[in-house]
Structure 1
Amino acid sequence: MSNRRRRRLAAVLGAVALAAGTGALAAPAHALAATPVDFATHCVPPAIAGIPPIDGTTNATVAVDNASPKVGDKVTVTYTVNKPAASNPVDIALPADIMTPTGKVVLAGAQSGTVDVTGPKKNDPVPGKGAFPAFSMSGSFTATKAGAITLSPGDYNIHTSYIMELDTPCTVTNPPAPVSGTVDVTDGGGQVNERAITADPASGNAGERTTVTGSGFTPNADVTVAGWNGTATTADKITFKSDAHGAFTARPKITDPATTGIVAYEGASWNPAAGAGPVAYTVTGTPPPAGPSQKLTTAVNAGTLSMSQAGDGVALGAVDFGKGGASTGALNTVTVQDFRGGPAGWSLTGKVTDFTGPGGSIDAGRLSWTPACATKAGSPSVCVAGSATTVGGAGATLASTPNGALTGGEFGVDAKLSLDVPAFTPPGAYSGVLTLTLT
């Protein structure tokens, strides 16, 4: 099988895998059991895969680590897709650890909203024509009001890093999906954790920065923003102080390819009760090379606007006394080089003197031309030939280029010449001077 064919199949496989699921990831051991529910799912593979949307049934559960929290407690939720909507449609296997899931859990009842959940970039190899195993994603929310809160699986997305970076969003066809779990919140007098963060952009190449904005933190407190790999923080960390209102803006550099989210917290280590997140973040490329580095610089010098010509004499065709008519020829090719590298275009004009000879003169207004202009490949500008017109002593435009953000290039300019000689012009040689001006 050709490499091109394999890459095509790999892209298709990656897209279908996104719609279906990733390698098995067990739910945290402390998560409480939840009710598996079925719901219709609509998954849209990337356009490059060349396959239609996948409509099927997803079976999932939403479990929590504490089903009876008090107001102010942080509750960790685990969204597990037990049975995806599709399976591997071809014989080529997918490798391990290429898929990163993210999704949302929908809250209703005493507290409404959604919880962002992320999973680690970890999956078992998927055999050709094999079923996709389950995958899990986790996140947390703070209980803010006493009463029963229902939890339902929501939309999810799988990002794959195999051959190319692909995303396939899978949405609940008829939201909300059935309730999978319930949390009964009691009013224990606890303080609500109002800390919150956002990350923009939510993805980037390894080594790029994102802007994390936080609110609700303790004023003037030490705050750490860190990468999150689905179960723990990564080495991508930055620590600073919140402002007098408990807000901050940070620009962490995310380099760990295993990062699936970002968290922020007060204290020496991650603590959901004194932190916020995770919010989803996807690393889309490999880290920059490690070790010593050297910054390389160069310069491009601006040149000049100039022209040259293939010759300085043109012999027009002879005409007969008593008949006269068109005495024709061709302008020697003029080469224009615009190496200035600026925004200005140029204009090449010409004017001619009267043609003088032994029997008098032929008026300059009887010379006309039909210009032509060719642009050398790769030139930023495109040459425009002037109009077919009379040249005369007043002159006319032979060729030009327009102004632009970046102009320049090399151009070849030609013209067909025609002198209209009166029928009874006295015999002899007549000559005039055509002067070209480049501005």
Structure 2
Amino acid sequence: MGSPRSSGSTRGSRRRRWASLLGATALAVTAGGALAAPAGAASNVDYPTHCIPPAIAGLPPIDGTTTAKITVDNTSPKVGDTVTVTYTVVTPAASNPTDLALPADIMTPTGKVTLAGAQTGSVTVTGPKKNDPVPGKGAFPSFSMTGTFTVTAPGAINLSPGDYNIHTSYILELDTPCTVTNPPAPVSETVTAADNPPANTRAITLGSASGSPGATVAVTGSGFTPGAAVTLAGRSGTTQTADTATVTANAQGGISGSLAVSDLTTTGVVAYEGGAWSADLGAGPVAYVVIDDQPVPDGSQKVTTTVRAGTLSMSQAGDAVQLSGVDFGQGGASTGALQTVTVKDFRGGPAGWSLTGKVTDFNGPGAKIDAGKLSWSPACATKAGSPSTCQAGSAGTVGASGATLASTPDGTGTGGEFTADARLSLDVPSFTPPGTYAGVLTLTLT
């Protein structure tokens, strides 16, 4: 009897040593049953999970409960839209079973989100190699993974958490796959997709770009509903003038007619179906100018002036940004603010603008921080009285490929003054060598 106990003791000792060595992937779980959340609610759900530690860890498969949540960036998309999905494992079915503390940024998660309902399939999601340190016997931290899918059918699409894998890079490169024991897991989020109406292909051309007051301009077009009554109208900026005419679309959806244009403030001509202008059922505006060439009555003087088109330009409040420092061994977010950028659009005309930025790697003493570690949260403001309205870019990574800081859309009348800012955050790896690191953020206005 003594020999078997000695043999079992030796095997247990070896297993403990391997578990200590590979604590990052030797999983312990808390057993429990699954609690389903109501379908359609973006909420935490619990589901049973079967995890298989790396064989070298010497541990048997483990059954426990994962708590997770699925969120999306758009719960009401249209067919053809791209939806970004985030799979957050709030409480993994795992904890560190050893006394060995695990360092930060060794875990890289991947997983699947299951689609059901109006659209079926799965979405591959991935997470960054980022985690807080895990103390000995401590619980593994929450982590998030993201991915995208394109909506292909209208209706309710249910999203459930699926299988996930924790890859660890500590001493060895190892994987710990965790599968849903009784798939599918409960629904955590539902998106309701709408049909995407067909694209508006209506278009018109004019026989001339200008004329005297009261002169007629030929209007031809295509893409209209066969047999529909189509209104031709003058536009002054975004306002319709009193100059209108009606034509009927032929069997091929084409139109041909003429419009007498008298309003001296006319800037363009449109054509549309229905009782009023609609971007979905209309075409244009196509630029048209009324030239006031009427003779001056006796005893009168015509007074004219010229408004000269200007330029699109930008200026910066400064050319240097000092981010906050971080501690060696801790790393984390080094934060600061972009120097304010002022954009002046004095061109006139229909064109908007876009202000983008990209950054180089941050070079330091014998090391560098990758450009992809810099992210920003843009903001912009429009000066009162400006025809255009500034739109801030999306928060996220800047990187070497670049991102949008701010923009204005094309329109009938554009221009104005704008200011753009952003909060900056550089994710510094925990054991980056001490020193000063600098990168160049280049802004381009087009």
Q: TM-score range by the shorter chain?
A: 0.3 to 0.5
Q: TM-score, normalised by structure 2?
A: 0.39
Q: TM-score, normalised by structure 1?
A: 0.39
Whichever of the two has the greater Rg, that structure is 1
